[in-house]
Each structure stands twice: as C-alpha cells, then as structure tokens.
Structure 1
Amino acid sequence: MTISPVRLVLFVLLVGLLAWVGFDLVADQRDEARRERNSAQVEVKGLREAARISGEMLAARDAIDQMRTQELNDEKDKNLGLQRAVDAGSQRLFVKATCPAAVPTDSGAGRVADAGTAELAADARSDYFTLRDQLALSRQMILGLQDHILQVCQR
C-alpha cells in the first residue's frame, strides 16, 4: 500500500493548515491572557494607590478626632473643677446685671439695702454647667468637622 504523492501533499498541507490554525488559536489566547494580565496589573496599582490614600485619610481623621476629644475632655474637666469649686463655696458664679438708672421713689414698703453683686441662683447652677458642657461639645464638633473638611476632604 503506497500513498500517492498528491495525497501525501494534501495530507501534509492539511496537517500544516491544522497546525497553523491551532498555533493561531493558541497565540490569540496568549495575547488575550496578556491583555487581561496587563489590565489586572493596572487595576491592582490603582487599588493600591486608593488604599494608601484611604489609609492616610483615615489616619488624618483619627488624629483630628483624638486631638478634639482631648480638648473636649480638658474643657469638661475644667467645667467640673469649676462646678466643684462653686459647690464647695470657694468660687461664686456672678451674673452680669444692671439696675435702671432711675429708681422710682415711692414711699411704700421699705427696701432692702444693696446686698452686693448678683449671683446665679443655686437651682440654676446645674443648668449652667450642663450648658457649658454642651457648648464645649458643640464647639469641638464644629472645629472637628472644619478640620476634617480642610485636612481630609479637600486633599
């Protein structure tokens, strides 16, 4: 059994064509894999940069929070010290008050002599200290938000 030269040439051409198609298919797959790899590397680089920036922003936010929390705690301690001093009687809370220049001169009931400067009533003191604490909290919150906007958001 001999193979004719025409059949041999056709067989060799067919095998060569199949090899070329197979090689072309593998080359296309290789090129597609390289493109996917390159796009993945670019995406990884972008994600690493985003993670680095996010980490820096979180660190800045935490530093602002720690600073403002410490200032708030200091202000609350100062208010508590003042409250204890007022309760102990070593300090007084004075109210800025003025009397009208013209005092009516009626000869009715007798008047009490000027007892000195006006002082905050004892039942209003707790409200005063609560308001001071809330004012300190509001102030630190506002300053913290301003710092966050300036140092973190506007980067």
Structure 2
Amino acid sequence: MRDAIFILVLCLTAWFSVHLLQGQRDTARAERDQAQDERDALREAARITSERMTQAASNDVKHTQELTDARDKNLNRRRAVDAGDQRLLVKAACPAAVPAHAGAGGVADAAPAELATNARPDYFTLVDQLALSRQMILGLQDQVRLCLH
C-alpha cells in the first residue's frame, strides 16, 4: 500500500509539475507573440518615419533650391538695373494734362514711368522677402500634407 501511495503522490507531483510547466510555456508564448507584434509595429513606425523624413528632406532641398534660384534671379535683375542694362518700369496711367492756356500746346508723351532710384533697393528687398515667404508657406504646406498621410 505504501508503494501505491508513493506512486500516486509521484504521479500527482508529476502531473502538477507538467501542468505548471504548460502554464509557464503558454505564458511565455503569449509574451513572445506580444513582443513580436510590438516589434513589427515599431518596425512599421520606423519605416513610415523614415519615409516621411526622406520626403521632408526632399521638400526642403526643393524649396531651398527654388528660393536660391529666385534670389539669384532677383540679384541678377538688380545688377542689370544698377548697370543700366535694364529698367524698372512702373505700370501707371497719367491723366491727360489740361492746358493752362487755350492756345498752348499739349504736353508731349514722355517715356514710361520708372521706379525712382532711391526706391529700387526697397523693391528688390520686397521681391526677396516675397520669395522667402512663398517658399516658407510651400514648405509648411508640404509638412502638413506629410503629417496627414
């Protein structure tokens, strides 16, 4: 009888140990599966972030180049105006002059209206600022588009 009780206790202990090990195995598998899912999610997030960073860098290069081109064009125009090779004309309409004397001759048409010499630097500064503002706005719009995707 003693041997039977010993065998029964041994079997119960073995069964309990196996049951405990199976529970630990199942817990370990669940933790492993969860860790793999988290790893996959992190990899996907890293891939998306990398794509967005690459696109943002590309947009930055594009807008910086466009700004550089606009500033270069403006600088070349400024140099041409300063050298006298080009003129800054103002689109304007002048009202017809009313002669003071009935018999006096009319005023001859003069050359087109031109921007005053002292106003030219302001004009070129405004053109540069406009180009900068435009590229900043376009860059911000691209950033918003990236965030929405």
Question: When the two structures are superposed, what TM-score results if normalisation uses the length of structure 2?
Answer: 0.83
Structure 2 residue 115 is matched with structure 1 residue 120 = yes
Give the distance between the partners of 1:121 and 1:36, measured in 2 at CA. 78
**Deviation string, structure 1 residues 36-70 (Cα, Å, up to 9, x no partner):** 11111122112212211221122122112111111
Question: Secondary structure of 1:91's match?
Answer: coil
Give the distance between the partners of 1:50 and 1:43, measured in 2 at CA. 10
Structure 2 residue 55 is matched with structure 1 residue 49 = no
Give the distance between the partners of 1:132 and 1:51, measured in 2 at CA. 41
Question: Secondary structure of 2:85's match?
Answer: coil
Q: How far is 1:32 from its partner?
A: 0.5
Q: State the match for 1:3 in structure 2.
A: none
Structure 2 residue 15 is matched with structure 1 residue 20 = yes
Counterpart code for 1:61: A
Q: Percent identity?
A: 58
Q: How far is 1:115 from its partner?
A: 5.0
1:138 is aligned, of 120, 133, 138, to 133
- The correspondence of residues 87-98 of structure 1 with structure 2, limited to 5 A, is 87-98=82-93
- Larger CA deviation: 66-75 vs 45-54: 45-54
2:96 is aligned, of 96, 101, 108, to 101
Q: How far is 1:113 from its partner?
A: 7.1
Q: Which has the larger radius of gyration?
A: 1
Counterpart code for 1:64: N
Q: How far is 1:126 from its partner?
A: 1.3
**Structure 2 unaligned blocks of 5 or more:** none
Question: When the two structures are superposed, what TM-score results if normalisation uses the length of structure 1?
Answer: 0.80
Q: How far is 1:114 from its partner?
A: 6.0
Q: State the match for 2:59 in structure 1.
A: 64
**Structure 1 unaligned blocks of 5 or more:** 1-5
Deviating 4+ runs (over 6 angstroms)? none
**Deviation string, structure 1 residues 121-153 (Cα, Å, up to 9, x no partner):** 222111111110111112222333344445x34
Q: How far is 1:101 from its partner?
A: 3.0
